[in-house]
């Protein structure tokens, strides 16, 4: 297979785009496409300060690399979750995030959950009894809370995450199966800022996971290969496997599923827009972040519960 641009031997073949490229042209194509998506979905401008949530994995490090190559003002945020059983996941992912930042002279903010709140994520999950055996619910809550807190406290205009097409299609699939209308309405490449919530963007939402792997390998970016040990057996992995089977039989199916959804959502054809009541947000009386809960936000309530258990 030959590169469509120069005729040299292709190293990446994207069946869904009917496009094969050599390494050099692939490394040009990915940022060009990202710049196009940033513009199309009006994510941010070169004048805005971007905070990239960096986990040490290929998507977030790839995203940071692309944004910096495109000349955006992008700093990183690493959240230390304290998930160190088995493969030393947190320790290794922080090492790789820091390594990338140091090698490219970039600023990486590091927030350690245990230092901030007294316990690592698995213990917070256990003590708050929100885990049902897995710490993912508490982890997601803590990540959202901390990312928004840091973006607000340090004056960033926008928070960027490395969600790729496989992630977005799996979430969309789950939300569609459940007809979770409120989640469907909120799912998109941009979540505008509102009542103290930072704008959230997903510049990689149209890249397949394997395209990000190819990008990081071609750029020589060292990233953590292993998933978080708690991801094993998760619903989202199961949905990804199902969608991969579909993609093998019908190349491009995943992209079409996602893009058609975005079109329908934009033109108000989801038939759910008018039925969803928007939650009224007000500042949490403890941390000041927006919440729809009556007094304090669910994160502060979780921490309060953990502290009560710890003290008793
Ligand atoms: S939520 Fe669950 Fe992830 Fe947190 S505990 Fe690991 S798998 S990192 S995306
Ligand atoms: Zn080429
Ligand atoms: Zn709060």
- Domain 30-280: CATH superfamily is HUPs (3.40.50.620)
Which whole-number Å values give the CA distances from 62 to 4, 234, 270, in the listed order? 23, 24, 32
Is ligand 1 within 6 A of the CB of residue 124?
A: no
Rounded Cα–Cα distance for residues 46 and 189 (Å): 18
Rounded Cα–Cα distance for residues 48 and 229 (Å): 35
Q: Is the dihedral of CA 96, 100, 105, 110 positive or negative?
A: negative
The dihedrals phi and psi of 258, each to the nearest 5 degrees, come to -70, -45
Ligand 3 center to 284 CA (angstroms)? 5
The pLDDT of residue 124 is 94
Ligand 1 center to 134 CA (angstroms)? 9
Question: Tokens 């079109």 belong to which residue?
Answer: 263
- List, as one string, the DSSP characters of 193-205: -BTTBPEEE-TTT
Q: How many CB atoms lie within 10 A of CB 95?
A: 14
Question: Tokens 């949530």 belong to which residue?
Answer: 53
The pLDDT of residue 254 is 96
The dihedrals phi and psi of 147, each to the nearest 5 degrees, come to -65, -45
* DSSP code, position 6: T
Which region holds residue 129: left if phi is over 0, alpha if psi is between -120 and 50, else beta?
Answer: left
Question: Tokens 């491009």 belong to which residue?
Answer: 252
For ligand 1, what atom is nearest to the CA of residue 139? 4
The pLDDT of residue 49 is 97
Is ligand 1 within 6 A of the CB of residue 228?
A: yes
The pLDDT of residue 277 is 60
The pLDDT of residue 12 is 97
Ligand 1 center to 39 CA (angstroms)? 30
Tell me the ligand closest to 23's alpha carbon. Answer: 2
- Looking at the DSSP bridge assignments, the partners of residue 200 are 159, 191
The pLDDT of residue 276 is 56
Token pair for 38: 């940033």
Q: Are the CB atoms for 162 and 53 separated by under 8 Å?
A: yes
Q: Which of 230, 236, 237 to mutate to test the pocket of ligand 1 (most atoms within 8 A of CB)?
A: 230
Is ligand 1 within 6 A of the CB of residue 136?
A: yes
Ligand 2 center to 69 CA (angstroms)? 19
Nearest CA to 273 among 171, 182, 172? 182
Ligand 1 center to 47 CA (angstroms)? 32
Low-confidence ranges of the chain (pLDDT < 50): none
Token pair for 251: 């190349």
Nearest CA to 212 among 1, 22, 7, 12? 12
Is ligand 1 within 6 A of the CB of residue 135?
A: yes
């Amino acid at each position: 297979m030959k590169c469509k641009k120069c005729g040299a031997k292709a190293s990446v073949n994207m069946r869904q785009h009917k496009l094969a490229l050599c390494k050099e042209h692939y490394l040009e194509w990915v940022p060009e496409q990202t710049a196009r998506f940033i513009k199309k979905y009006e994510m941010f401008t070169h004048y805005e300060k971007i905070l990239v949530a960096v986990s040490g994995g290929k998507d977030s490090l790839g995203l940071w690399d692309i944004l910096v190559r495109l000349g955006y003002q992008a700093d990183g945020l690493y959240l230390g979750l304290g998930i160190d059983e088995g493969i030393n996941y947190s320790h290794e992912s922080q090492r790789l995030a820091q390594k990338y930042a140091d090698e490219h002279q970039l600023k990486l903010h590091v927030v350690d959950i245990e230092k901030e709140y007294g316990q690592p994520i698995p213990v917070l999950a256990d003590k708050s009894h929100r885990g049902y055996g897995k710490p993912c619910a508490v982890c997601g809550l803590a990540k959202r809370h901390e990312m928004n807190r840091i973006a607000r406290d340090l004056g960033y205009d926008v928070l960027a995450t490395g969600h790729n097409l496989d992630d977005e299609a799996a979430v969309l699939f789950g939300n569609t199966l459940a007809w979770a209308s409120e989640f469907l309405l909120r799912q998109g490449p941009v979540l505008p800022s509102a009542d103290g919530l930072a704008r959230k963007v997903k510049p990689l939402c149209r890249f397949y996971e394997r395209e990000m792997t190819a990008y990081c390998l071609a750029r020589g970016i060292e990233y953590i290969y292993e998933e978080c040990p708690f991801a094993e057996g998760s619903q989202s992995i199961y949905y990804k496997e199902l969608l991969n089977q579909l993609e093998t039989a019908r190349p491009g199916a995943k992209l079409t599923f996602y893009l058609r959804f975005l079109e329908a959502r934009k033109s108000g054809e989801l038939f759910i827009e008018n039925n969803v009541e928007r939650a009224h947000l007000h500042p949490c009386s403890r941390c000041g972040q927006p919440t729809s809960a009556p007094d304090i936000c669910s994160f502060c309530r979780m921490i309060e519960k953990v502290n009560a258990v710890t003290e008793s």
